[in-house]
Homo-oligomer: A and B are copies of this chain.
Amino acid sequence: MTERNDVRYELYYWPGIQGRGEFVRLAFEEADVPYVDVARLPRAEGGGVHAMQEFLNGERGGLAPLAPPFLRVGDLVLAQTAAILQYLGPRLGLVPDDDASRLHAHQLQLTIADLVDEAHDTHHPIGTNLYYEDQKPEAKRRARSFVGERMPKFLGYFERTLGRDGASGAQYLFGPHLSYVDLSLFQIVAGLRYAFPKAMARLEPSIPRTVAVHDRIAARPRIGAYLASPRRLPFNEQGIFRRYPELDQ
């Protein structure tokens, strides 16, 4: 942890939404490690979407990311949410020390990324280049499948993982040690509650361990302070998790 004061961490993500950037923000907030949320700074301070676009357009040289979020640490520019968290995990003290747990934490994070993609596609089943309004009938059909089949499948999987041999009675996915994956699981529960309140109300009784992880994390002092701060953007209908009542079936 000696790096904490030496390293400048810059997160680049869309300034108006939680989106995929939020999984990274939660890790920094819980670790209490300073980070610059670059695109949310004023342009006069080197911020704004423009600062992000320079990297995406390849104007900054090196390997350009295809999309945000990306992390900049010194000369390194690293994209893909799960890869960023894998990189930060040991540096923020948010993953166990042993190799097997680190590999499994990443595996679980990638499984969360799959769920995030599917949650996104409930409102964009045809194309990200089209408005929601232009794909509403398809969205309704996809959301029915998501809510009925996929949400229970993914959340049931995390529920079983929390109850696996050796983890019984564990507070978090890796026992007593909070990891970045737990923070992401918190965000999944929060997001799905926002987007699909009726469906989640039906599902939650069957996933008590998962809900308990959510509640434990919400009660952590730094996360609580973050959630109450202006740094936590509200959920809205431009992000991954959108509240369209017609999709909450």
Copies of chain A in the complex: 2
Q: Chain B contacts of A160 at CB under 8 A?
A: 58, 64
A12-68 contacts to B, CB under 8 A, are 58, 61-66
From the candidates B121, B127, B150, name the one contacting A149 in the complex (CB within 8 A): B127
Interface size in chain A (residues, C-beta < 8 A): 48
Interface status of A142 (Cβ within 8 A of chain B): yes
Segment among A74-82, A193-201, A234-242 that sits at the interface with chain B: A74-82
Q: Which residue of B lies closest to A173 (CB)?
A: B63
Q: Chain B contacts of A75 at CB under 8 A?
A: 100
Segment among A103-111, A208-216, A222-230 that sits at the interface with chain B: A103-111
A125 and B154 form a contact (CB under 8 A):
no
User: Closest approach, in angstroms, between the C-beta of A104 and any C-beta of chain B?
Assistant: 5
Interface status of A164 (Cβ within 8 A of chain B): yes
A80 and B121 form a contact (CB under 8 A):
no
Q: Roughly how many angstroms separate A121 CA and B114 CA in the complex, as a whole number? A: 13
A sample of 27 cross-chain residue pairs with beta-carbon separation below 8 angstroms, ordered by A number, consists of A58-B164, A61-B164, A62-B165, A63-B161, A64-B164, A66-B111, A66-B157, A75-B100, A76-B100, A78-B103, A78-B104, A78-B107, A79-B111, A80-B106, A80-B111, A83-B103, A83-B107, A114-B117, A121-B121, A126-B138, A126-B141, A126-B142, A127-B141, A127-B149, A127-B150, A128-B149, A128-B150
